[in-house]
Amino acid sequence: MAAYIADHAYAELLRENELLKHQVLTMQRKLVRAREVPLVSAKVVDSRLTFREGRQFVEYKLQIVTNIRSTLF
């Protein structure tokens, strides 16, 4: 009986492992590949003072120019 339970548990773990591998591959295909982006120029075009949680911060709006056409995150 114990051998049957062990075999069944092992088979279940194998199925779960295959499912997880498939999910990982699916997620990896959806990820945007990180890569270096050559910077041509950058400058501050605006700034403002803000307060968060009682602390003062300066927020800067940057204009960034690269030599590729894509969205930067």
What tokens were used for 5?
């339970």
30-49 pLDDT, tens per residue? 775 666 778 899 999 999 99
Q: By three-state DSSP, how is residue 65 classified?
A: strand
Q: Are 34 and 71 in contact (CB under 8 A)?
A: no
Q: Are 67 and 40 in contact (CB under 8 A)?
A: yes
Q: Which residues contact 40 (CB under 8 A, 6 or more apart)?
A: 65, 66, 67
pLDDT of 3 strictly over 90: no
Confidence category of residue 50, pLDDT binned at 50, 70, 90:
very high
